[in-house]
Amino acid sequence: MAEENRDSRKAILEAAREGFATRGFYGTSMEYITKNAGVSKGAVYWYFPGKWEVYKTVISDEAERLKQIVLPPGVELSRGEALDFFLTRGEQLIDIFADDTVCRLLFVYLQLEAMRGKDDMAEFLTSLRASITEDVISVIQTAYPEGAFSVLGITQREFVNVFMSVLGGIVLNIGLTITRQEAGRSWRLLITSVLGGLGGD
Amino acid sequence: MAEENRDSRKAILEAAREGFATRGFYGTSMEYITKNAGVSKGAVYWYFPGKWEVYKTVISDEAERLKQIVLPPGVELSRGEALDFFLTRGEQLIDIFADDTVCRLLFVYLQLEAMRGKDDMAEFLTSLRASITEDVISVIQTAYPEGAFSVLGITQREFVNVFMSVLGGIVLNIGLTITRQEAGRSWRLLITSVLGGLGGD
C-alpha cells in the first residue's frame, strides 16, 4: 500500500512534468495530469492541494536533481581546483540540458511566464534562483572569499549570477543555433577568460 | 487612401505584436488581432495570407528595428575600436530589452516554441539567427579577420554565437534576478575578459 502510494505520486509528477514542459502551466489541466498518470482525481488531490503545488513540486524536484549532480554537499575547493570545478560542472549541466529537452523547457517556460508578469511565477523563480545562488556561493567562497572578485569589479553574488546567465543563454541555443560541442567550447572560453583575470593563488 | 492603408497595416502589426508576446502564437487568433487593431477581417487578409505570415512579419520587423540601431550598415572597425564598439552596442541592446518587455517576450517565446519541436518555428529562428550572424560577422571581420580568434580556439562565427548566447542569457534575467545595472556590468565583464585574451592590435 505504501509502495502503491509512492508509485501514484511519482506517476502524477511524471505526467505533470511532461505536460508543463510541452503545454505550459495554463495549458495543462488537472484532468490531463490525472489521465496521463493513470490515477484517480482523488489521488491527485490526496497529494496536492492544487495544480500550482504540483507545478512547484515538479520544478523544485528538477532543481534539486540537478543540484545533487553538480553541487554535492560539503565540497571545499582550493583556488587551484576552482577553475576545473566550474569547467566540469558547467559541462555536466550542458550535457544534462542537451539530453533532456523537457528539463530545459520547464525552466525556460517558468522564465517566460515570470517575464510576462505572472507574479506567482516571478516570485517562485526569484526564490528558486536565490536558493541556488546561496548554494553555489557556499561552494565558491572556499576558493574565492568575498572580495576576491573585487579585481573584476563584482561581488560573489554577481559572479554567480553572471555565470548562471551565461549558462542559461548557452543552454537556450543548443540544438537550434549551436551544437552541444559548441556549447561546451563557449562555456570553457567564457569561464577561462573571466577566472583567468583573477590570477592563480 | 494610401495613408489609410498604411495605418491599417501598422495597426494590425501592433495588435499582433502585443498578442504574440503576451499570449503566444497559438493563443492569439486572427479574430483577436482584427478586433484589437480595429480593422475588418478583410483588411488583415488583404495584407497577410494567414497568421503565420503576420507572425513572421512581426518578428522580422523587430529584428530589423534592433539591427538598424546597433548595426548601422557599412561600419568598419579597427582592432582598437572593436572592444568599445561591442561594449556600447551590447549595452544599447540591454537597455532596449530592459525597457521593452514585449520585444524580449517575442524572442523568448519563439525560442521556447522552437525548443518544443515546432518545426516552422525552429526553421524560422535558425534562419533569422543565421542572417543576424552574417551581419555581425561582416562588421567584426574588419577588426578581426578570420583566424584572429584562433588564439581562443574558436572561429568568427562561433565568437558571434558565444556573444549572442551571453547577451540572450543576460537579457532573460533582467528584472527577475538581476537589475539592468548588473546586466550591463555582466556584459562588460564578459566581453572585456574574452576580447582581452586577443591582445591589442
As its CATH architecture, domain A1-51 has: Orthogonal Bundle (1.10)
User: What does the pLDDT look like over B5-20, one tens digit per residue?
Assistant: 779 999 999 999 999 9
User: What does the pLDDT look like over A127-183, one tens digit per residue?
Assistant: 999 999 999 898 888 888 888 888 888 889 999 999 999 999 999 999 999 999 999
B199 touches chain A (CB under 8 A): no
In this predicted structure, the answer to whether residue B200 has a pLDDT above a threshold of 70 is no
Q: Please provide the DSSP assignment of B68-127 as one string.
A: HHH--TT----HHHHHHHHHHHHHHHHHHHHH-HHHHHHHHHHHHHHHTT-HHHHHHHHH
In sequence order, which residues have a C-beta less than 8 Å from that of residue A22 and are 6 or more positions away?
A: A102, A105, B116
Which residue of B lies nearest to A169 if distances are taken between CA atoms? B169
Cβ <8 Å between A193 and B190: yes
CATH class of B1-49: mainly alpha
In this predicted structure, the answer to whether residue A91 has a pLDDT above a threshold of 60 is yes
Is the Cβ–Cβ distance between B155 and B146 less than 8 Å? Answer: yes
CA distance A134 to A129: 9
Is the Cβ–Cβ distance between A94 and A187 less than 8 Å? Answer: yes
Q: Which long-range contacts (CB under 8 A, 24 or more apart) does B72-79 make?
A: B75/B139, B75/B142, B76/B142, B77/B139, B77/B140, B77/B142, B77/B143, B78/B142, B78/B143, B78/B201, B79/B143, B79/B144, B79/B200, B79/B201
Q: What is the domain partition of chain B in residue ranges?
A: 1-49, 71-196
A114 touches chain B (CB under 8 A): yes
Cβ <8 Å between A22 and B101: no
Cβ <8 Å between B125 and A177: yes
More confident residue, A4 or A62: A62
How many angstroms separate the CA of residue B38 from the nearest CA in chain A? 24
In this predicted structure, the answer to whether residue A199 has a pLDDT above a threshold of 70 is no
Mean of per-residue pLDDT scores for chain B: 91
CA distance B47 to A10: 50
User: CA triplet B146, B148, B150: central angle to 5 degrees?
Assistant: 95
User: What does the pLDDT look like over B30-65, one tens digit per residue?
Assistant: 999 999 999 999 999 999 999 999 999 999 999 999
